[in-house]
Amino acid sequence: MEIGVSLERALEIVSQLTMKTTSETLPLEQASGRILSEDIASKVDDPRFDNSAMDGWAVRMTDCSDFSTKLRVVGTSQAGSHQIPTVGVGEACSIMTGAPIPEGADAIVIIEESSYQDGFVTINGPARSGFIRRKGENLQEGVVALNSGTLLTPAGISLAATMGYGHLSVTTRPKIAVIGVGDELTSPGKPLDAGSIYESNTFGLSSLVEKMGAIPKRYDLIRDNIDSLRDALDEASESCDAIITSGGVSMGKWDLVRRIMEEEGHIRFWKILIRPGGPPLFGLWGGTPIFGLPGNPVSSHVVFTVLVAPWISESMGSGQSIGSRLANRVRVLMEEPIKGAPGKLCMRRISIRLEGDILVASTKTHQGSGNIHSLVAHNGLSLLPPDTDCDAGELVDALWLQY
C-alpha cells in the first residue's frame, strides 16, 4: 500500500484496475452518450452523387466566360429527382440544393446572380465548380469513419445515421455501488434528531456516476457498524462492477471504511496530496475495485471529478476522456489572491468568466470542504501546485467544470 500519493500517481494506480464491460446493440436513438464498441465503416459514399451546394443553374463553365450570356433552359434537377436532363452547349438546367448535377454541366451559377425570361436564363455572375459537392468527398463506402471507443455525441449519432447504421454496438453501462457511511446521517425528507445532519453525498455521487454514463446503485445509509458495512460491501461486490463509499476514511476511531479495508480488503493507496479531498483510499474488496471517498461533500465531489471520473471513462473504453466533459483545463487570471496548500495540489472553488479575450476568475463563498454550496456558486477549481500561493493578477491553471 502507498500512503500519500500525488494525484498523477493515484491516477496511475487506479488505471491498473479496470471494470469489465461487454457490448450491447442499441437502436441509434438510444445510443447518444454511449461509447461505440466497434469500428464502423460507411455503408455509402457521402455525397452519394455529385450534387449542388446552392440553388441556381447547372451550366457548362466554358459557356459562361462572359457575363450577360444567355442560356437555353432544358429543365430542372430537384433533390430526389430521377430524370435529369443533359446540359449541352449553350444550355442550363435549373438546380436545387442537394440535387444531382446533370450530365454535361460542370459548374453552378447561383440563383441570385441570374435572371430568367421566356425559357432563357441570363448569367450575371461567375460559374463556380466549387459549388458542386463531389461524390464521396465526405465519406467513402467501406472506409471506417467512427472508431471503437468514440463517445457518441449528437454529431457522432448523426454521422452514424449518415453512414447507414440504424443500430450500434456500444459498451454496457457499468453498475457502480454508492454507499454512505455515518451514524450522524439522516436521509433528506426525514425528521432530524439532535446531532444528526441531512445526508447528501450518496445523491451527489450517484448523479455524478449517472453523468458519466454508468448506472449508480444507491444503498441505504450504513451506520458506523463494521458488520453492516461488511454486509453492504459484500453485496455490492457481488452485484456491482465498482464500489464508491463516502465517509469513514480518515484517522478517527469511527472511520470504519479505512479500518475494514486495512483488515479485510486490499488497499492500493491511501491519501492523495490534494486539498480538498486528502483522505481517499483505493483498492479491492473481494475482487471489486473500491474508492473510499471522504465524507466532506466538497471533498467527495472533487475526488470523484479528478480521480473517479477519468477512471470510469477509461474503464468504459472511451478513447477521448468523458471526464473532459466534466473538467477542462484552462488558464485563468485570478482577481484576488488565493492561498495554496503545503505539499498539496490546491483546488479552490473559483468562478471563471470571459472578460474581453481573457478568462478571469474570482472566489465567492466560504471555501470549507463541508460547504457544498461552494460547488454550486462556482464553476471551476484552481490547480495551484503544492506550496504555491497565487497573487491577484497572476495566471493559474484551473479546471472549468461543466456538468
Single residue of 56, 295, 323, 340 touching ligand AMP by CB under 6 A: 295
Question: Using CA atoms, how far apart are residues 367 and 194, in angstroms rounded to an integer?
Answer: 26
Minimum Å gap between C-beta 380 and ligand AMP is 23
Identity of the residue, 185 or 338, whose beta carbon is nearer to ligand AMP in the bound complex: 185
Could you list the beta-strand ranges (E) of 54-149. 56-59, 69-77, 91-95, 107-110, 114-117, 120-123, 132-133, 144-146
Q: For 83, how many CA atoms within 13 A lie in the half-sphere containing its CB?
A: 2
Q: Which residue is nearest to Mg ion (CB)?
A: 182
Single residue of 47, 213, 248, 340 touching ligand AMP by CB under 6 A: 248
Single residue of 14, 185, 261, 381 touching ligand AMP by CB under 6 A: 185
* Residues 322-381 close enough to bind ligand AMP by CB under 6 A: 370
Peptide bond into 154 cis (omega under 30): no
Contact 114, 70 (CB under 8 A): no
Single residue of 296, 305, 315, 374 touching ligand AMP by CB under 6 A: 296
Q: Which part of the chain contacts ligand AMP (CB under 6 A), choosing from 1-9, 28-36, 131-139, 193-201?
A: 193-201
Residue among 100, 96, 87 nearest 133 (CA):
100
Select the binding partner of residue 197 from Mg ion, ligand AMP, none (C-beta < 5 to 8 A, by kind).
Answer: ligand AMP
Question: Using CA atoms, how far apart are residues 280 and 272, in angstroms rounded to an integer?
Answer: 7
Question: Using CA atoms, how far apart are residues 159 and 44, in angstroms rounded to an integer?
Answer: 12
Draw the binding track, 234-263, toward Mg ion (x: CB under 5 A; -: no contact).
Answer: -------------xx---------------
Draw the binding track, 161-180, toward ligand AMP (x: CB under 6 A; -: no contact).
Answer: -------------------x
Select the binding partner of residue 185 from ligand AMP, Mg ion, none (C-beta < 5 to 8 A, by kind).
Answer: ligand AMP
Single residue of 69, 169, 250, 362 touching ligand AMP by CB under 6 A: 250
Buried b (16+ CB within 10 A) or exposed e, 38-56: eebbbeebbbeebbbebeb
Contact between 280 and ligand AMP per CB under 6 A:
no
Single residue of 102, 180, 182, 294 touching Mg ion by CB under 5 A: 182
Contact between 199 and ligand AMP per CB under 6 A:
yes
**Angle made by CA atoms 118, 120, 123, in degrees to the nearest 5:** 135
Q: Which part of the chain contacts ligand AMP (CB under 6 A), choosing from 49-57, 230-238, 248-256, 345-353?
A: 248-256
- First-last CA distance in the chain: 33
Contact between 200 and ligand AMP per CB under 6 A:
yes
Q: For 95, how many CA atoms within 13 A lie in the half-sphere containing its CB?
A: 31
Contact between 297 and ligand AMP per CB under 6 A:
yes
Buried b (16+ CB within 10 A) or exposed e, 122-144: ebeebbbeebbbebbeebeeeee
Count other C-beta atoms under 10 Å from residue 192's C-beta. Answer: 11
Identity of the residue, 54 or 249, whose beta carbon is nearer to Mg ion in the bound complex: 249
Buried b (16+ CB within 10 A) or exposed e, 253-274: eebbbbbbbeeebebbbbbbbb
Q: Which part of the chain contacts ligand AMP (CB under 6 A), choosing from 14-22, 40-48, 139-147, 294-302?
A: 294-302
List of residues contacting ligand AMP (CB under 6 A):
180, 182, 184-185, 197, 199-202, 246-250, 294-297, 370
